[in-house]
Structure formats: C-alpha cells, structure tokens
Structure 1
C-alpha cells in the first residue's frame, strides 16, 4: 500500500490550493483553516500516512472552554486525527472536541478550494454535528 492513499489526499489538496498560499506554510502543510465562529484556526498537515489538523491559534474564549474540558493548552492540540481517504474529496478519521475532552468518529469533505465540511458523530452515526471550515490566506 505504501504512501498511495496519502499521495492521493495530498494531490487533491494541492489541486485546490490557490497559487501562492502553499509557499507561506510548511512543506507538509495543506493550509490553515478557520472554524465557522472564527475562534479556532488549524493547520491541516501530514501525520505519518494520514492527515491531521492541529490548532495553531485560538481565541481566549476557546482556550477557556478547552481548559474547562480538560485540554490545556489548546494550541498544538490535534482536533482532526488520522484522517485517511475514503472516496474522492472525502476522508475519515477522528475528531477531538476539546471543550468536552472527547473524541468522535468523523469525516472531512472538501467542498471547494476554500471550504471543507467537518462532521463528527457518536457511535453508529447518532448525534452528528457538522461545521464548514474556511481556508485562510
């Protein structure tokens, strides 16, 4: 199997990455993404043969919420963990919710070059929540 699934994922993200943005991020980064409320920014990056999303910035409120949930510090925490390709533009992995300190099954679906939908569910697809994240320049 080798690096083929990761390469497919990386290629898909590179194809939608706007020109000029990739040079501002580390070589293994697929960009910085902002949650809908603008309270958390993550860097999508290679982690082994998968993709992860690590917090690189958070508002004071997001940091306080995470601290109450048992996550301190929030900066540097992986929210998207071990995401692997499932079908074109869709990856499956685990989503960590720092304000409650729990990890759920999740998917990331690339909507377009600047938007992705992150969706997390309890076991059996119950209690699903989704958010649209926006790529930052």
Structure 2
C-alpha cells in the first residue's frame, strides 16, 4: 500500500523526468541550439560555433590556455586562436551534424559527427578512416 508521502514523491519524480525530457528535446530540436561557445573536456580551448559562409556549421577557436598555445607552437602552428576547428557540418537528424574536425597538433582534418546530448553538452567524434578508429569528446557550453 502506497503512503501519501510515496505517492507525492512518485508524482514529483515524474514531473522532474518529464521536465528534463522536454528540455532536452527542445534543445536538440532547435536548429540554433548548437550555436554558442563550447569548451573542450580539459578546459584548454573554447570554440565559438556559428554558420559558415555556405550555411553549414563551423567552429573557430576563440580562446586557448597558455599550455594549449605552447603545444600548438611545438606542432608548428603559430596562432591557435582563430583556427577553424569545426568545418562544414550539416544536419543529419535531430541534434546531429556531420562534417570535418581539424586536429591542430596533427595538422589534419577528419570526418566527424557532432551529437548534442543536452542543452549544455556536445559529443564530438572524429574518425581516421571511413568511420573506423574513432575518438570522441564531450564538450560543455560556456556561459
């Protein structure tokens, strides 16, 4: 037999779950939800996403930590800030885009997918060869 307290708790948890689901669905349905400033997992880079000249999605490095800048210089990249990291992403479903990611310390671009997992997180993956040997990172929105 369910007590009043248990019934109230169950009702409250249902409302919270519905609210989170609705918030996440709204975030991934809005085409501009991925536009903004995002930080890599280590907090050493910030990328501003927005439309490219051709209407696809791009992302440019707008801030880099001193260590990230030193690592880039060691890899032969004089100026990390201003580098276009995300290139030519096109929508391929709700909350998902496909394009290319530039890896500065390798000096190469790879096929990539961005999946928005919540209003504040992106999962960005890059693959070496035809969708194999992939690596992904979770990036967080910067306020």
TM-score band, normalised by shorter chain: 0.7 to 0.9
Matched, 1:55 2:61: yes
* TM-superposed deviation, 1:64: 1.4
* Structure 2, unpaired ranges of 5+: 1-27
* Structure 1, unpaired ranges of 5+: 1-8, 17-29
In structure 1, C-alpha distance between the alignment counterparts of 2:73 and 2:106, rounded to whole Å:
9
Q: Which has the higher helix share?
A: 2
Bigger Rg, which one: 2
Match of 1:89 in 2: 95
Which digits, 9 at most, give the CA deviation of each residue in 1:6-39, with x for residues without a partner?
xxx994334x8xxxxxxxxxxxxx2110000000
Matched, 1:65 2:89: no
Structure 1 runs of 4+ aligned residues shifted over 4 Å read none
Match of 2:83 in 1: 77
Match of 1:32 in 2: 37
Question: Helix, strand or coil: the match of 2:31?
Answer: helix
Match of 1:125 in 2: 131
* TM-superposed deviation, 1:70: 2.4
CA-based RMSD of the aligned residues comes to 1.7
* TM norm structure 1: 0.78
Which digits, 9 at most, give the CA deviation of each residue in 1:26-64, with x for residues without a partner?
xxxx21100000000000011121011100000111111
Does the 8 Å contact 2:29/2:95 carry over to 1?
no
Q: Which shows bigger deviation, 82-91 or 64-73?
A: 64-73
* TM-superposed deviation, 1:68: 2.0
Alignment size in residue pairs = 115
Match of 1:105 in 2: 111
